[in-house]
Amino acid sequence: MTILVTGGAGFIGSNFVLDWLAQSDEPVVNLDKLTYAGNRENLADLEGDPRHRFVQGDIGDTALVQRLLAQHRPRAVLNFAAESHVDRSIHGPEDFIQTNVVGTFRLLQAVRAYWSELPDSDKTAFRFLHVSTDEVYGSLGPTDPAFTEAHRYEPNSPYSASKAASDHLVRAWHHTYGLPTLTTNCSNNYGPYHFPEKLIPLTIVNALAGQPLPVYGDGQQVRDWLYVRDHCAAIRRVLQAGQPGHTYNIGGLSERTNLDVVRQICALLDELAPAPQRRVAHARTGQSITNYAELITFVADRPGHDRRYAMDIRKIQRELGWQPAETFDSGLRKTVQWYLDHPQWVQRVQSGAYREWIARHYG
């Protein structure tokens, strides 16, 4: 038995692979293109582990995907591969169309061809699990009920539009061709190995360097925060017992404004790594700071910024018995501590040296 994971060197994908092999001996074939956010160093603990086979490549490379499917005969394919940063999608949407739409289409075609030739028992047991986002549903008002799986799609950014398109393709391949698909739509993830362009890791890293902590607009945008390892546990449960053709919302039951999140990170850093002890100075003024909140800087809001996301997770709770194990307080504390404990990982990611690390270790 084997599973094929795409995008398994990215933030969520690498956490999933690490958690999977910490709990199971079932091998993983890990296909990742290693774009800027794909970091094989995330998987360093698996070096030499025969259960983990890493392959650098693109989900849009049909010949490669077909070869991997034929060689390893996986019982499931889990698609984490995606361009995922809204800001990047605003400035360069074409990469998002190519990876999230065209790449998903080509992956589905290759998997369908493989699945259609399986023996009946294997064909019935096979699953294609597609990892998506709450952003496909659009934006909520302050008192609107949370997104359910039946909420209509109203994507507002090039990123969310590309993910919505990929979700529709997965749904169509199930209803038209019978491919046994599962789709998960998650809220904002946070945790270890998060590339420091997103709010939580960016805030941690900038604060420790005395850099401004940018907050868009008034900072009152609301997100539901999900600890990444809770997300991994939910995906494992959906793979195990989810109904083909169904969608499952996954959230952390932790709605917070962006400004509140930044302030909570500052408070944790004040406790765990006080600025005076670390002699942190404001990078722009050169003056020492006494607390990290002094670095908070409001910046112009980004175009089309969704105001609120919230996830109704009653379906996955009721049908599959999953719920998040971490509160936002406990998960954020673990996350901040991880970044404090891994300064070299942060430095290599920020400098791009992780790519040199890959070249040295893997040739």
**Cα–Cα distance between 164 and 101 in angstroms, integer?**
9
**Cα–Cα distance between 47 and 34 in angstroms, integer?**
17
Q: How far apart, in Å, are the Cα atoms of 177 and each of 112, 169, 181, 207?
A: 8, 11, 11, 50
248 labelled catalytic:
no
Q: Which residues are paired to 226 by β-bridges?
A: 189
Q: Are 272 and 216 in contact (CB under 8 A)?
A: no
Q: Are 272 and 215 in contact (CB under 8 A)?
A: no
Number of neighbours of residue 318 by Cβ within 10 angstroms: 9
Q: In what order do the strands lie in the sheet with 3-6?
A: 52-56, 28-32, 3-6, 76-79, 127-133, 181-186, 247-250
Helices (H) and strands (E) in the chain, counts: 15, 12
Q: Which amino acid is at 1?
A: M
Selecting among 137, 159, 339, 354, the annotated active-site residue is 159
**Cα–Cα distance between 129 and 138 in angstroms, integer?**
22
**Cα–Cα distance between 175 and 271 in angstroms, integer?**
53
**Cα–Cα distance between 228 and 226 in angstroms, integer?**
6
**Cα–Cα distance between 222 and 189 in angstroms, integer?**
14
Selecting among 58, 135, 294, 326, the annotated active-site residue is 135
How many CA atoms, within 13 angstroms, populate the side-chain half-sphere of residue 310? 17
159 labelled catalytic:
yes
154 labelled catalytic:
no
Selecting among 32, 41, 83, 134, the annotated active-site residue is 134
Q: Which residues are designated catalytic?
A: 134-135, 159
